[in-house]
Structures are given as C-alpha cells and as structure tokens.
Amino acid sequence: MIETENIHYSYPNKVEALKGVSLTIKDGEFVAIMGQNGAGKSTFVKHFNGLLKPSSGAVKIDGVETTKSSVAALARNVGFVFQNPDHQLFSETVEEEIAFALKNFGFEPKVVEERVTWALNLLSLTQYRKTSPFLLSGGERKRVALASVLAWNPKTLILDEPTIGQDYEQKEKLRQFIMQMQTQKKTIVTVTHDVEFVAECNPRVILMKEGKIVADGIGREILTDPAKLELSSIVLPQIAQVFAKLSAFGFPKDIIDIYEAKTLLLQTKERHSK
C-alpha cells in the first residue's frame, strides 16, 4: 500500500512542486495520474520509491516511511520506469541492461536468463538483444527501460509517460500486460497525458493541478466529466465525445472504452435490423 500524508515538496530553487498531497493507493490498484505539465505528477510519484523525500508530511510504503528506507531497499518492490529512458539506461547491450538489476538483486544465473528472454519477447526486443540501447530509437529505448524493470517482477510498478514514442500495437501490448498484472494483484501507477490510453484501461484517475489533487475517481466518471477534466487542461477522450452527442438518442454518456462502444453500437444495429 502507498500512503502519502499531507506531503509538501520544494526544489532547491524554492519552487513548491507539491502542496499538501494526501492519497492512499491500495495493493492491486491501477491508478493513472494526469494533469498539465508542471502539475507535480512526476515529482509526486518519485516519492513512491524514495527518489525524492518530502519537505514535510510522510510517505509510507507498506507502512514504512520512505525516509527510513534506502532507495535500493525500496526499489526491490517498487519498480520505476522514467519518462526519459536515457535517465536509466547505461549498459552496453540490451541484454545486459535487462539483466543488471536481476543480478544485483541476487537472482540465480538460470533465472536471470529466463527473465531476460521473457522480457525481450514481451516487448518485441529479441532482435536487439546484443545491440547497444543507445543505437535504438526513442520508442525502442523506452521499451528497453520498461523491460529492465518488468524483468524483476516488482510488487508495484510506476510508469512515467509509458506510451510516448509507442505505436498503437505497442500501446495495446502494454494495456494487455497491465491487465495481466492486475490479475496478479500488482499495483500499477502511471503518469500520462495519453487520455485515449487511459480511457481504454479505465483505471482510477487522479487529476492534479499546481501541486494539488483536484479530482479522484474511477476512470468512467472522471473521463466523462468535462468540468473536472478542464481543471487539469485535459480533453474528453474521443469515445466520450462521441457518446456525449449520442446521448440525445438514448445512449449512455459514460462510455470511454472502445470495446464497450463497439458492443453497444452493434447491439443497436441488430435491434434496428429486426
């Protein structure tokens, strides 16, 4: 469980990035944190694995304050994938990059090999196994960074802008993997501007603005509420925009999932064709 209690955080230049943020994320939850640039999203989640420590207030992971744990100790259970993959890649090959943390955490060589192969396959990186990650595209480097964290199977996964540079196929693979992790009771927290991706996943949504939480609720409710989204400069997902118009013909307004939308439209077509 992740608990933040009235945390404030100011950078050395005196900019106050977080202004009294309190939030509880239960084990097994999938949470999307959204808001415009400068809202404090990335600063907030960096407190979850001790990369940042609050200026005041408390952050607890499974009941233990992060100020009383090292980043290394927290990292074993809280995996963090940075928005910019170049901030965490350093090995000479993709294979070595993915294996590094596994070896550091003391996994047996056979397990390291199995987990590296699994991660390479999962994220379509097998062909780059012996390639330097710095020779890959931005989207590919992003997948390497993700693979290097997924490989050690952390209890909690923090994803900062995971869909940047990814095509639809890769986004769909990520969505399916997140759904799979949920069945395993993993906790997933993503920071993202990708409202369409969030709509298809339908997690709990936290909206932030100027270092504060301004809305918190299930995706279906938050992402179909224009007033709440406007607070964080986020537009309605395309499916929600369509069904807002179709509500005049009796369709529900709170549709954000493309698959649910398809089912509703096909059912309507069948009824009218009889």
**Sequence-separated (6 or more) residues with CB below 8 Å from residue 98:** 115, 116, 119, 120, 144, 147, 148, 151
Both structure tokens of 63: 């009941």
Sign of CA dihedral 209, 215, 217, 222: negative
Predicted pLDDT at 218: 93
Scanning the structure block, which residue is given the tokens 């100011």?
A: 10
Predicted pLDDT at 125: 93
Scanning the structure block, which residue is given the tokens 């980043």?
A: 71
Kindly report the length of the chain: 274
How far is Cα 67 from Cα 53, in angstroms, rounded to an integer?
7
Per-residue pLDDT of the chain (274 residues; tens, 9 = 90+): 999 999 999 998 888 999 999 999 999 999 999 999 889 999 999 999 999 999 999 999 999 899 888 888 888 889 999 888 888 888 999 999 999 989 988 899 999 999 999 999 988 899 999 999 999 988 889 889 999 998 988 999 999 998 888 888 888 888 888 888 888 889 999 999 899 999 989 899 999 999 999 999 999 999 999 999 998 889 999 999 998 888 888 888 888 888 888 888 888 877 777 6
- Opening angle at CA 45, ends 61 and 230, nearest 5: 130
**Which value, to the nearest 10 degrees, does the dihedral of the CA atoms of residues 126, 131, 132, 134 take?**
-70
Alpha helix segments (H runs only) across the chain: 41-45, 71-75, 94-104, 109-122, 138-150, 168-183, 195-201, 219-222, 226-231, 238-246, 258-273
Predicted pLDDT at 274: 64
How far is Cα 81 from Cα 110, in angstroms, rounded to an integer?
25
**Which value, to the nearest 10 degrees, does the dihedral of the CA atoms of residues 157, 159, 163, 168 take?**
10
Domains delineated in the chain = 1-70+186-235 (3.40.50.300), 237-274 (no CATH)
Q: How are strands ordered across the β-sheet holding 187-191?
A: 78-81, 156-160, 187-191, 30-34, 204-209, 212-218
